[in-house]
Chain A
Amino acid sequence: MVDGAAAVDSAPFAAAASVRRRTLGGEAWRRFRRHRLAVVSAVVLFLMIAAVALGPFLWRVPINDIDFAAHLQGPSLAHPLGTDDLGQDLLARMLYGGRISLAVGLAAMLVAIVAGTIIGAIAGVSRGAVDSGLVWLIDLFLSLPQLPLLLLLIYLFRDQLKAVVGAQIGMFLLIVIVIGGFRWMSVARLVRAQFFSLREKEFVEAARALGASKLRQVVRHILPNALGPVIVAATIEVANAIIAESTLSFLGLGFPPDVPSWGRLLYDAKDYLDIAPHWALFAGGAIFLTVMTINYIGDGLRDAFDPRKVI
């Protein structure tokens, strides 16, 4: 009797629920599409990634083909983005440099996110000394003067790493680890705060009551629900890491001249600003466009993952 009444009552609700049922990802995608600039940015960024990924196969000019007869030329048919002081083709160098800059951005983001999530999760599930110790560590890292330390670490350790794994890979690893190592704190704070509210929720309590281990509670129940803000932070971190790498290269302490990341191109271009402004403008413009599109995508994702906001 009771069962029957419940079945009759719940039928319309079940139908309504099945119409409105959307996965978390689908709902986020629907909200993301509402942010027009974010969608445009996503398309532009995708085109840029495709260009640097596929471009070198289509534009087969070598990046280190020296031709003094054609040095510091503006854009032309033979060199669509002009040439640098050694007459090297800038389009080829920009495409190659884009690979480096984007790869550094993504890899450093991964380092920061993984480290931040682990530290934040440990602080979030533990109470007492472990938590306050980790919070102290986060605060300490937040008050470190980052750029001086970045410069210092790169300068001090680059020769050692070069000797072990070779110049290019050594520099790449060093830059990625050092940049990631200084950017995990905001993610850790975010994850810790999320864990604090999530670990008291009923569904976690239910899992605990069913005898789920601490690890299972975290991995299966808490972490997936804390991921939204982490994804937003991860997006912004890519932009920050690209800027950090460009800064290092721009100050002459990043990649060597034979690895022309966008920051390195700008560093080489700054002494020829009066005779070959196109050089600096193309390299800087690429960094700016990438960072801006990523920031817009981050804004769109923030709207998409923020359940308080009604769209």
Chain B
Amino acid sequence: MSRYVVKRLLIAVPSILGISVILFTVLALAPGDPFSALATDPSIPPSVAAALRAKFGLDDPIYLRYLRWLVAMLHGEWGFSFASRMDVATLILQRLPTTLFVLGASQVLALIVALPVGIYAGVRPYSLGDQIASTLALIGFSLPTFFTGLIFILLFSITLHWLPFVYSSDVGGTGLEWYWLHIRQALMPVAVLGLFQGATWTRFVRAAVLDVARLDYVTTARAKGLAERVVVLKHIVRNAMIPVVTLIALQMPVVFGGAIITEQIFRVPGIGSLLISAILANDTPVIMAVTFVFACLVILFNLIADLLYGCLDPRISYG
């Protein structure tokens, strides 16, 4: 088992390096430059601007800048945000917990919706329940998150006045009230993201269950007189989960994209909204770091999926 984990980790390293090279090249090829504002500012003499450029090494060849950035990254020095006048690492660590909380909660919601509904629809294909579930799932994943977000705000904040539509990191209140306020403001972002993912995954689960349910060993299990519950949960679902895990892992970039959109709609102070404000402020170190964090998260979840895959399917050897 540990050898398998190490092997997977060793495969993940070149992927992260490849992504970092792509990111760095894109940024270096682009015309924007954190010091371009300094160049047009008349109160800063050109010699000072040039000295600053030299100090941060912006005139060096690209591979040198990449290597320097990589070494600094490995030392935990993630650069300095020119726009917020803060260390990038501090900035990201401040914002990351909010993003992970909203994302995690929405994925749990998505699983709570997708597993039972998908399994139910998959074992009774073309029944009335399946048709209702399939239609709702298709509508759910055709509704873009930015539109559902606006509809939720319109319905629950503007019309009904039930929920706040601006997420604040400092809600006030103490003890239980603090928890309640936090949950209340997270309800809409989590629901928007979770229902969208839930709809997508329902389709995956249904298709996988449908494929497995018609195999001969399932008929054998039924013929042995096993209870339907046991047949479905122990025989069908376990095997159906194998392709589902892969598909969910492949969906991770989409999930993080959805997180950026929801954070922007509900003004959640996470790393997604940080990325957008950094892009608009031309804050290169922050853009680089946030995109890199997203890339690492995607690879981390792929790794987790690989390990889960190993647990679900004993035919995969850990050798």
Of B142, B252, B294, B299, which one neighbours A291 at CB under 8 angstroms? Answer: B142
Asked if residues B295 and A143 are in contact (CB atoms below 8 Å), the reply is: yes
How far in angstroms is the closest Cβ of chain A from B197? 14
Q: Which of B144, B154, B275, B297 is the most central at the interface, judged by chain A CB atoms within 10 Å of its CB?
A: B144
Known A-B contacts: A140-B19, A147-B261, A148-B291. Give 20 more (CB < 8 A). Answer: A140-B15, A143-B253, A144-B253, A144-B295, A145-B298, A147-B257, A148-B260, A149-B291, A151-B260, A151-B275, A152-B287, A156-B26, A156-B29, A156-B32, A157-B30, A246-B146, A250-B146, A263-B146, A284-B151, A296-B138
Asked if residues A273 and B158 are in contact (CB atoms below 8 Å), the reply is: yes
Chain B residue at minimal CB-CB distance from A153: B26
Of A159, A247, A253, A296, which one neighbours B31 at CB under 8 angstroms? Answer: A159
Residues of B within 8 A of A156 (CB): 26-27, 29-32
Asked if residues A146 and B257 are in contact (CB atoms below 8 Å), the reply is: yes
Interface string of A262-281 (1 = CB under 8 A from B): 01001001100110010011
Of B143, B279, B287, B302, which one neighbours A143 at CB under 8 angstroms? Answer: B302
Chain A residue at minimal CB-CB distance from B150: A280
Asked if residues B294 and A266 are in contact (CB atoms below 8 Å), the reply is: no
Question: How distant is the Cα of A147 from the Cα of B147 in the complex, in angstroms?
Answer: 17
B141 contacts the other chain (CB 8 A) = yes
Asked if residues A143 and B150 are in contact (CB atoms below 8 Å), the reply is: no
Question: How distant is the Cα of A250 from the Cα of B150 in the complex, in angstroms?
Answer: 11
Interface string of B272-286 (1 = CB under 8 A from A): 000110011000000
Asked if residues B295 and A147 are in contact (CB atoms below 8 Å), the reply is: no
Residues of B within 8 A of A247 (CB): 144, 146, 257, 261
Of A140, A145, A288, which one neighbours B144 at CB under 8 angstroms? Answer: A288
Question: How distant is the Cα of A144 from the Cα of B256 in the complex, in angstroms?
Answer: 11
How many A-B pairs have beta carbons closer than 8 Å: the answer is 123
Question: How distant is the Cα of A67 from the Cα of B185 in the complex, in angstroms?
Answer: 38
Chain A residue at minimal CB-CB distance from B141: A295
Question: How distant is the Cα of A296 from the Cα of B142 in the complex, in angstroms?
Answer: 10
How far in angstroms is the closest Cβ of chain A from B275? 6
Residues of A within 8 A of B298 (CB): 143-145
Given A155-B279, A156-B26, A247-B257: A144 and B19 within 8 A (CB)?
yes
Which residue numbers of B lie inside 8 Å of A, CB to CB?
15, 18-19, 22-23, 26-27, 29-32, 138-139, 141-144, 146-147, 150-151, 153-154, 158, 250, 252-254, 256-257, 260-261, 264-265, 275-276, 279-280, 287, 290-291, 294-295, 297-299, 302
Chain B residue at minimal CB-CB distance from A159: B31
Asked if residues B150 and A270 are in contact (CB atoms below 8 Å), the reply is: yes
Give the residues from 156 to 170 in chain A that come closer than 8 angstroms, CB to CB, to chain B: 156-157, 159-160
A243 contacts the other chain (CB 8 A) = yes
Of B23, B32, B144, B279, which one neighbours A243 at CB under 8 angstroms? Answer: B144
A43 contacts the other chain (CB 8 A) = no
How far in angstroms is the closest Cβ of chain A from B7? 15
Asked if residues B142 and A280 are in contact (CB atoms below 8 Å), the reply is: no
A131 contacts the other chain (CB 8 A) = no
Asked if residues A147 and B138 are in contact (CB atoms below 8 Å), the reply is: no
Asked if residues A146 and B32 are in contact (CB atoms below 8 Å), the reply is: no
Residues of A within 8 A of B265 (CB): 270
Residues of A within 8 A of B275 (CB): 148, 151
Q: Please classify how large the interface on chain A is, using the bins under 10, 10 to 19, 20 to 34, 35 or more.
A: 35 or more
Asked if residues B143 and A288 are in contact (CB atoms below 8 Å), the reply is: yes
Asked if residues B147 and A266 are in contact (CB atoms below 8 Å), the reply is: yes
Chain B residue at minimal CB-CB distance from A137: B18
Residues of A within 8 A of B31 (CB): 156, 159-160
Asked if residues B294 and A148 are in contact (CB atoms below 8 Å), the reply is: yes
Given A143-B299, A153-B26, A292-B139: A251 and B276 within 8 A (CB)?
yes
Of A145, A250, A266, A295, which one neighbours B142 at CB under 8 angstroms? Answer: A295
Given A144-B295, A250-B261, A273-B150: A288 and B142 within 8 A (CB)?
yes
Chain B residue at minimal CB-CB distance from A142: B250
Residues of B within 8 A of A148 (CB): 256-257, 260, 275, 290-291, 294
How far in angstroms is the closest Cβ of chain B from A98? 16
Residues of B within 8 A of A155 (CB): 32, 279-280
A239 contacts the other chain (CB 8 A) = yes
Of B18, B151, B158, B257, which one neighbours A274 at CB under 8 angstroms? Answer: B158
How far in angstroms is the closest Cβ of chain B from A254? 12
5 contacts between A and B (CB under 8 A): A145-B257, A145-B294, A145-B298, A153-B26, A155-B32
Chain A residue at minimal CB-CB distance from B12: A143
Question: How distant is the Cα of A299 from the Cα of B142 in the complex, in angstroms?
Answer: 13
Asked if residues B261 and A152 are in contact (CB atoms below 8 Å), the reply is: no
Question: How distant is the Cα of A5 from the Cα of B195 in the complex, in angstroms?
Answer: 66
Residues of B within 8 A of A281 (CB): 151, 154
Given A148-B290, A159-B31: A266 and B26 within 8 A (CB)?
no
